[in-house]
Amino acid sequence: MCGIVGYIGHKAAQDVVIGGLRKLEYRGYDSAGVAVMTEHGLDHAKTKGRIAMLEEHLEGKALQGTVGIGHTRWATHGKPSNENSHPHLDATRKFAVVHNGIIENYLTIKEDLQKKGYEFVSETDTEVIAHLIADLYNGDIEATVRKAITMMRGAYALGIMTEYEPNKLIAVRLASPLIVGIGEGEAYIGSDIPAILEHTRDMYILNEGEMAVLTRDGIEITVAESGEPVERDIFHVDWDLVQAEKGGYDSFMLKEIHEQPQAMHDTIGSRIDLEHKSVVLPELKMSAEQLAAFDRMYIVACGTSMHAGLVAKEVIEKLTRIPVEVAIASEFRYRDPIFTEKTLVIVISQSGETADTLAALREAKKHGVTVLAISNVVGSSVAREADEVIYTWAGPEVAVASTKAYTCQSLALYLFAMYLSQIKGTQTKEQIAEMVDHLLEIPAQTATILENEASLREVAAKVTEGVQNLFFIGRGLDYAVTLEGSLKLKEISYIHSEAYAAGELKHGTLALIEDNVPVIALATQPELFDKTVSNIVEVKARGAYTLGFAFEGDTELAKTVDEVVYVPRTLPILSPVLTVIPMQLLAYFASTARGLDVDKPRNLAKSVTVE
């Protein structure tokens, strides 16, 4: 998730663009850059670091001109560095591109271009766009871009300018958000409303697959591939800047909950071979043989990331039959873990800077053990120190309570488990293909759950109003995800809750169940369904108020519980990434109903860099 700004008009483009980028730093802040059409042609400046560094860099040598594009980066392909910063230019420096999102087939395009002699200076997927456009250019930038996007697969938004047509900016949206601002003799591009709000409140919101051509005389919107004109109503923005930063949502947490379909898509997209319905992990440096040789794994992490690890344990063991132990990072390093040369340690960290996780990683490395990191921040300490990294492409997570990072961590680990099982031959091609089909549906199914958000507000009121204690129960994978549901509720609503393996309740905790104590029970695992229902009956008999979670069509559960939340049907093994969504919303509504600060819960920090 990066920030894009573009401007064409009569003001100093560099000032407008950098001013807009400052408002988008919440979308990414590891490097920044700007390109301006000067009287000497296309010029640009870019640097690793925050936007302030770019401004410092430009002090006394401002790029003079009234057309420009700029970018603030949240690294995906390639670490934060000057070379990987945007804008990216082609070899002749006549075309400049800023990009948000992922080009899934960039490696194939890159190889084709390399064969034609194009040389690449960065590790990014974006640079291929600049070279591709230069390669295809036929004197008409609009037609060229239309052609180029037919060759690019992925979810992205682009801002493009060329010295050959200096009075024009091109904006393209495919999945990643993009807006175009309307001015008098000027026009703007922004990947979010705050980027341009200080200049205009009248905008067009581009839909998926649309292109806008911006000149000083106006804005033309068309279907990107066909060129067919599109009529769009003006969207007048009444929000203030803070509301705009949250995309109109009340909080970053709610915004991030809603970003999950996109984040999931980005995390899965380029790692699926659609033709063969299999998983590819090109980022792994170790060979298939090396990977297949591991006979034992530790997953080490903290909090929500550790909960994603609990889901992964079940999945890896089921798909590959390799034993996996999940360890809390703060405990792991002090317990003298058993390492052999066939042990793989997987560390999970959204921030990549959590002190306990980093210490656990170093402990493993000290013993010569291979470490694979799952991280959301390219170039983070965990990512740098691990032997291997699989990134979750969730984009920056601002709210303290992790939501989209959890679902993307889980998905990255599903992909890893599937990949490993392909290598080891522990699952058949058909079984993997079936999982791939269902995995690809998860983003849209998540969007469906989010569309019914209002019903969760009512459920949250019924279950949490006036409540001080609450229980979550489930078995197997359902139990793993209840731990995350319970943590989410605790940290933002301050309601005490506990997650229990449903069968374990009767060994002590059942004593806490009395009239109207809410119990939230997950029952998505068919082979455990009857057992879970028996446990629900046990708590009901003690007076509990019960809320069940089941797959759509599983109407059996409704006969036992007081209230049911249905999630779209998927394979039982994939259920955690869907059942967690209503649990995130439950926690969110419980918190807002109590008037609490959802984004900044008391006593907590986003990244815990102390032991």
Closer residue to ligand F6R, CB minimum distance, 194 or 485: 485
Supply φ then ψ for residue 195, to 5 degrees. -60, -35
Secondary structure of residue 147 in the 3-state scheme: helix
Helices 13-23 and 51-58 pack at an angle, to 10 degrees, of 160
Piece of 165-173, 301-309, 410-418, 546-554 that binds ligand F6R (CB under 6 A): 301-309
Piece of 88-96, 250-258, 345-353, 508-516 that binds ligand F6R (CB under 6 A): 345-353
Q: Is 596 in the site for ligand F6R (CB under 6 A)?
A: no
Specify the amino acid at residue 369. Answer: V
Shortest Cβ 375–ligand F6R spacing (Å): 8
Shortest Cβ 404–ligand F6R spacing (Å): 11
Q: Are 480 and 580 in contact (CB under 8 A)?
A: no
* From 2, 23, 255, 488, active-site residue: 2
Q: Is 591 in the site for ligand F6R (CB under 6 A)?
A: no
Buried b (16+ CB within 10 A) or exposed e, 548-587: bbbbeebeebeebbbebbbbbbbebbbbbbbbbbbbbbbb
What does the alpha-carbon distance between residue 153 and residue 150 come to, in Å, rounded to a whole number? 8
Closer residue to ligand F6R, CB minimum distance, 205 or 608: 608
Strands 496-501 and 469-474 come out as parallel
Residue 37 exposed, middle or buried by CB count within 10 Å (0-12, 13-18, 19+): buried
Structure tokens at 40: 């000497």
* From 277, 365, 506, 606, active-site residue: 606
Shortest Cβ 392–ligand F6R spacing (Å): 10
Residues ≥6 apart with Cβ < 8 Å to 149: 172, 174, 224, 225
Closer residue to ligand F6R, CB minimum distance, 262 or 354: 354
Piece of 12-20, 81-89, 343-351, 427-435 that binds ligand F6R (CB under 6 A): 343-351
Instruction: Work out which of 100, 162, 191, 304 binds ligand F6R, going by CB under 6 A.
Output: 304
Comparing CA positions, the residue from 56, 57, 61, 51 lying closest to residue 27 is: 51
Instruction: Work out which of 305, 343, 497, 570 binds ligand F6R, going by CB under 6 A.
Output: 305
Comparing CA positions, the residue from 349, 337, 383, 591 lying closest to residue 489 is: 591
Q: Is 608 in the site for ligand F6R (CB under 6 A)?
A: yes
Closer residue to ligand F6R, CB minimum distance, 571 or 608: 608
Shortest Cβ 381–ligand F6R spacing (Å): 10
Could you tell me how many residues of this chain bind ligand F6R (CB under 6 A)? 14
Shortest Cβ 5–ligand F6R spacing (Å): 29
Instruction: Work out which of 81, 122, 262, 350 binds ligand F6R, going by CB under 6 A.
Output: 350
Shortest Cβ 191–ligand F6R spacing (Å): 24
Closer residue to ligand F6R, CB minimum distance, 19 or 303: 303
Comparing CA positions, the residue from 414, 408, 394 lying closest to residue 314 is: 414
Closer residue to ligand F6R, CB minimum distance, 200 or 357: 357
Q: Is 351 in the site for ligand F6R (CB under 6 A)?
A: yes
Instruction: Work out which of 100, 357, 370, 445 binds ligand F6R, going by CB under 6 A.
Output: 357
Q: Is 302 in the site for ligand F6R (CB under 6 A)?
A: yes
Closer residue to ligand F6R, CB minimum distance, 192 or 491: 491
Piece of 291-299, 344-352, 365-373, 577-585 that binds ligand F6R (CB under 6 A): 344-352
Shortest Cβ 582–ligand F6R spacing (Å): 16
Comparing CA positions, the residue from 541, 455, 550 lying closest to residue 505 is: 541
Piece of 250-258, 300-308, 543-551, 558-566 that binds ligand F6R (CB under 6 A): 300-308
Secondary structure of residue 369 in the 3-state scheme: coil
Q: Are 405 and 257 in contact (CB under 8 A)?
A: no
What does the alpha-carbon distance between residue 257 and residue 582 come to, in Å, rounded to a whole number? 10
Q: Which residue is nearest to ligand F6R (CB)?
A: 303
Q: Is 349 in the site for ligand F6R (CB under 6 A)?
A: yes
Q: Is 476 in the site for ligand F6R (CB under 6 A)?
A: no
Shortest Cβ 237–ligand F6R spacing (Å): 31
Length of the chain: 611
Comparing CA positions, the residue from 4, 173, 149, 23 lying closest to residue 88 is: 4
Instruction: Work out which of 31, 84, 402, 486 binds ligand F6R, going by CB under 6 A.
Output: 402
Shortest Cβ 15–ligand F6R spacing (Å): 35
Q: Is 326 in the site for ligand F6R (CB under 6 A)?
A: no
What does the alpha-carbon distance between residue 382 and residue 359 come to, in Å, rounded to a whole number? 10
Comparing CA positions, the residue from 377, 374, 449 lying closest to residue 411 is: 374
Q: Is 381 in the site for ligand F6R (CB under 6 A)?
A: no
Shortest Cβ 508–ligand F6R spacing (Å): 26
Shortest Cβ 90–ligand F6R spacing (Å): 37
CA dist list (Å): 492 to 397, 471, 488: 16, 16, 6
Comparing CA positions, the residue from 402, 405, 88, 394 lying closest to residue 269 is: 394
Respond yes or no: is residue 606 known to be catalytic: yes
What does the alpha-carbon distance between residue 354 and residue 352 come to, in Å, rounded to a whole number? 6
Supply φ then ψ for residue 297, to 5 degrees. -135, 145
Instruction: Work out which of 3, 80, 194, 303 binds ligand F6R, going by CB under 6 A.
Output: 303
Query: Could you say which residues in the range 483-502 bind ligand F6R, by CB under 6 A?
Result: 491
Respond yes or no: is residue 2 known to be catalytic: yes
CA dist list (Å): 181 to 146, 352, 492, 518: 22, 36, 36, 49
Interacting residues with ligand F6R (CB under 6 A): 302-305, 349-351, 354, 357, 401-402, 491, 607-608
Which residues are known catalytic residues? Answer: 2, 606
